[in-house]
Amino acid sequence: MGHLKNITMYYFFKRPVFWVFKGPKTINMALLALCCLSFHGKGIGQEVPVPLDQDSILPINLAEVIVIAPIYKDMEHRSYQKPLATLDGYLESSQKVSMIKRGAYAWEPMINDMASERLSVTIDGMRIFGACTDRMDPVTSYVDVSNLSNVHVASGQQGAKMGNAIGGALDMRLEKSGFVQTDWKSAVETGFESNNNARIYGYELNYASDSFYVDSDIIYRDADNYISGDGEEVAYSQFTKYNVSLNTGVKFSESQKLLASFIFDEAKDVGYPALPMDVSLARAFIGSLSWVQDTFLGDLYEWETKIYANSITHIMDDSQRPDVPIRMDMPGWSDTYGFYSQARLQSGGHKWLFKWDGFYNKSLAEMTMYPNNPNEASMFMLTWPDVRTLNTGLFAENTMAFENSVLIIAGRISAQGTNVANEFGRNSLRIFYHSMEQTQARFLKSLSTEYRYTFKNVELVNGVSYGDRAPSVSEAFGFYLFNSFDNHDYIGDPNLKNEGALELKSKISLPFKNGKIGAEGNFFHTQNYILGEIDPTLSTMTIGADGVKIYRNLEYANLFNVSINGVWDMSKNLKYNGLVSYHRGVDQDSRNLPFISPLTYSTSFRYSLPKFSASLSLRGAADQVNFNSEFGEDSTSAYNVVSLSVAKTFFISDDRLDAQVGVENLFDTYYSTYTDWNNIPRMGRNIYLTLSYAIN
Amino acid sequence: MKTIKFLLVTLAVAILFNSCSDDNDDPVIVQENPLSEMNRLTTLSANNHTIELYSENTDFTVGYNMFYYRIKDESTDTYLSNAQITVNPLMHMTSMTHSCPKSAISKMEDDTIYMGYAVFQMPGNADEYWELNMEYTLDGETYAISERIDVGMPEDGFKRVQSFIGADDKRYIVAMIPFEPEVKVNAFSAMVFQMENMMNFPIVEGYTLGIDPRMPSMGNHSSPNNENLTFDSSTGKYNGKLSLTMTGYWKINLQLFNKQGDVLKGEPVTDENEASSLYFELEF
């Protein structure tokens, strides 16, 4: 597989430029200055502070909730948000999440500059794992905004409730009508985007009464290749996807509810311009059943038990690529079955949350290469050797409230066993690890403390925590996984030690007359940080690859994230947000870690009236100075991107029509960010229009 | 209780019936025949004896062949266990006659079965052919028997034996011992013979056979953790480890080193040199 670093490998077509103004440097500088002058205000994200405990005395929280569902529409007119954006778009606009892009679809979320293997990504608490060895199907690609109400982003060990992770947790929460007397409701949504000719159609039909509800929705997205800021078409950036979901609940008594959810998601003909292969099919079946009871044994309350299962099929292929050194198929499968049961307890000044959870995952991926000589046998290997992972853990969280402060102590212990079930795969790995056992067991732990303090409206949060994680399937058992970024084949190491991180965090929030300014920082000292290291003795498998890397435990790595954000209510209707963040990540030899953000900033103005709103926003980054060339990174140039949108709500008898028009990348800037795989350029100017018609 | 009894009886009858029918269908001897998995390549008849020749292959093929022999006394219809056998294949070429590397014939656990290998360096053709010459001694009496055999190239056409003149001007034959390749670290063996003259091919001892497996269809990549083949005096074979990281066609590039470590044949594979002149091939 060749690498696509060379930009000439894209197919470019000139297209008419209808906006001549290309955002000259002076304008960009002016905008930047404006941003800096204005108290580093808060970002364009749509974060709503949601307290962990509803009656907590302090609203401040380190977690971030990305609101998606229209249920919030009534709270505030959300013109600053593109209603039918992909989930990836929503996540990207958040303060805490950044997205690795390999194309226009299926971006990979990162929290604290840490990606999939260091995060716990869940759907309504369900563990689910992508089936692609090349991380082309992050879990977030198997849901759609149509069936989500919000995404809960927890940083570091604050996410330990969801599973063992270092960087944090991302829980995508499904939208549920709940047991409210709303009767039948339906809505039609449609959207169009000019840049990649994206067509979006959605429909939802909900019924709710005080003892039963059912929510159903379907959404279809179809996009062609997008066009970058210099007017050139980025080949293989098309995608087609549809998602169907069904949520239902039955109330058996005032305190007993049975809930069920089902999601079917299928993406076809998905291009990955940054990679040498595309995806012909990515399909997920996701289902769960849960029992919710207000009271439980003794003084326990809010008891919730869920069982779930999901199954993913992911087919990578290169049939659309005209020129490849060798044809290949790379299908992968990931099935997960799991459960959790949680309850709360209150005694004296202590509030407890107890959770017991477990999952069983099967990950299998294969690779078949077809030699150019048709008489030769095809070449077959197992890239994920049917790895079965069984994990079960106990989590407890204790919240103690004092007069001006809250102390939260949380812990998790988990046991994880893995079994390399396939003999062919075991023998393959034993080429490298002669005495590799078929099974292995690991114990994982997490302990965190967080102290929130309020003094004369100044809010302060400090936390110390430690948590570890087991190596991912690829890191432990991957067999010749090609990474097109650093152009190396990767081989797992089953003997890797657990990666453990000591995390320090601090946040301060200072309110002033018409707004708030906050600063937040965290520091991760990660021991046994897992990263691929070159083994010069090994021969590459992939044609054209530069070498072979084996996942190793570095002695340690240090990651440092700091951000300043602010909100300013300039008038009753005009709001200003700003955010500046800085990140740094190095290993024990001061080598830069890959995918560490340079200085980034975002700022926005929002004007809102009850039925009308408008927004103007800018995001940008400074030059990427600290990059990891061993990982294929180079310095990404600074950029500024401006977007604006206008939204209006109409009422037609009882029905409601929301219309929004917006322009993203107004000045058609050509840019790519540090998260763009192989520096593929981002989308150029894009005009979008969305209409949402709700029938009550 | 009654039902259980009935079931047990039915089961017993079924087992009984089954075993009976087995006995009736097949002669006992075939059941115990260790050669049942083998292919009978030829039968030689003379001196009131029938000599059966078996192989794991379906044909006489170029390369290393392990043959299994049985001698049946036609008068008593029994297989004989007291024979001394020697086998000497001869290649009748238009200009000369030569033999090939071969082993002495030994007995297996079942002492009516004799075994020994032969390494055919070349196939026969219309004008040149191999002849199997066999001598066996029974109760002090020696019998001779010979038959022309058709030795062909293996069906896949892959190289499993190579004869050459080494850097020391001696003639060598290197043969791969057939095995079932898998994606794993395979036990891998070969034999090295020196051609002293037309008839004598002694085993070469103490040399080293360097291996470098490559996939020419995949950028000529190699595999890790191979072990060169070294001599095992107890078996006369060169044993090593062959790592195959995927299925498909592999070229096992070879280099033959003498006791001093001098290269007698074969070149290292480099970016400039795609393959060694000494190699084996396999596909799975």
pLDDT at A23 over 50: no
CATH of domain B161-283: 2.60.40
CB crowding A559-574: b at 16 or more within 10 Å, else e? bbbebbbbbbeeeeee
Q: Contacts of residue A541 in chain B, CB cutoff 8 Å?
A: 218, 221, 245-246
ipTM above 0.90, yes or no: no
Domain boundaries, chain B: 31-152, 161-283
Residues of chain B with pLDDT under 50: 1, 11-31
Min mean pLDDT across A85-89, A119-123, A320-324, A373-377 is at A85-89
Q: Which residues pair with A393 in a beta bridge?
A: A357, A414
Inter-chain residue contact B225 with A431, CB threshold 8 Å:
yes
From the options 3.30.830.10, 3.40.47.10, 2.60.40.10, 1.20.58.340, give the CATH code of B31-152.
2.60.40.10
Instruction: Return the residue in A380, A382, A539 with the most chain B beta carbons within 10 A, the one to mutate for interface testing.
Output: A539
pLDDT at A64 over 60: yes
| CB atoms closer than 10 angstroms to residue B41 | 19
Closest alpha carbon within chain B to A435? B185
Q: How much is the average pLDDT of A383-401?
A: 96
Inter-chain residue contact B183 with A543, CB threshold 8 Å:
no
Q: Which residues pair with A465 in a beta bridge?
A: A448, A503
Q: How much is the average pLDDT of A442-447?
A: 97
**Average pLDDT score over chain A:** 87
Q: Say if B31-152 and B161-283 have the same CATH topology.
A: yes
From the options 2.40.170.20, 1.10.20.10, 1.10.1520.10, 2.40.110.10, give the CATH code of A7-313+322-337+346-366+386-533+548-622+630-695.
2.40.170.20
More confident residue, A330 or A13: A330
How confident is the model at residue A349, as a pLDDT? 84
- List, in order, residues 6 or more apart from A696 with CB less than 8 Å away: A185, A654, A655, A656
Please give the C-alpha separations between residue A116 and each of A60, A113, A471, A496, A526, in angstroms, as whole numbers: 27, 10, 11, 18, 16
Q: How confident is the model at residue A81 (pLDDT cuts 50, 70, 90)?
A: low
What are the pLDDT digits (tens) for A611-623? 898 999 999 999 9
How confident is the model at residue A150, as a pLDDT? 85
What are the pLDDT digits (tens) for A264-304? 999 999 999 999 999 999 999 999 999 999 988 888 999 99
H-run or E-run covering A522: strand A515-527
Q: How much is the average pLDDT of A484-498?
A: 95
- List, in order, residues 6 or more apart from A507 with CB less than 8 Å away: A60, A62, A459, A460, A461, A462, A518, A519, A520, A521
Distance CA A631, CA A533 (A): 10
Q: Contacts of residue A428 in chain B, CB cutoff 8 Å?
A: 183-184, 245
pLDDT at A12 over 50: no
Q: How much is the average pLDDT of A420-426?
A: 96
pLDDT at A68 over 90: no
Q: What are phi and psi of A566, to 5 degrees?
A: -150, 155
More confident residue, A177 or A427: A427
How confident is the model at residue A653, as a pLDDT? 85
Inter-chain residue contact A381 with B219, CB threshold 8 Å:
no
Say if residues A66 and A153 touch (Cβ distance below 8 Å). Answer: yes
Long-range contacts: A630-633, Cβ < 8 Å, 24+?
Answer: A630/A486, A630/A534, A630/A591, A631/A485, A631/A486, A631/A594, A631/A595, A632/A5, A632/A483, A632/A485, A632/A486, A632/A487, A632/A678, A633/A485, A633/A594, A633/A595, A633/A674
Q: How much is the average pLDDT of A368-373?
A: 93
Q: What are phi and psi of A13, to 5 degrees?
A: -135, 135
Instruction: Return the residue in A324, A328, A366, A379 with the most chain B beta carbons within 10 A, the one to mutate for interface testing.
Output: A379
Q: How confident is the model at residue A63 (pLDDT cuts 50, 70, 90)?
A: low
Inter-chain residue contact B248 with A380, CB threshold 8 Å:
yes
Inter-chain residue contact A380 with B247, CB threshold 8 Å:
yes
Longest alpha-carbon distance in chain B: 85
What are the pLDDT digits (tens) for A509-553? 999 889 999 999 999 999 999 999 999 999 999 988 999 999 999
Three-class SS of A128-139: CCCCCCCCCCCH
pLDDT at A57 over 70: no
Distance from CA of A325 to the nearest CA of B (A): 8
Distance CA A155, CA A169 (A): 7
Measure CB to CB from residue B182 to each of A378, A427, A432 and give the nearest one: A427
More confident residue, B128 or A15: B128
Radius of gyration of chain B measured on its C-alpha atoms: 24
Q: Contacts of residue A1 in chain B, CB cutoff 8 Å?
A: none
Burial class (CB in 10 A: 0-12, 13-18, 19+), A285: middle
Closest alpha carbon within chain B to A324? B218
Q: Which residues pair with A523 in a beta bridge?
A: A504, A560
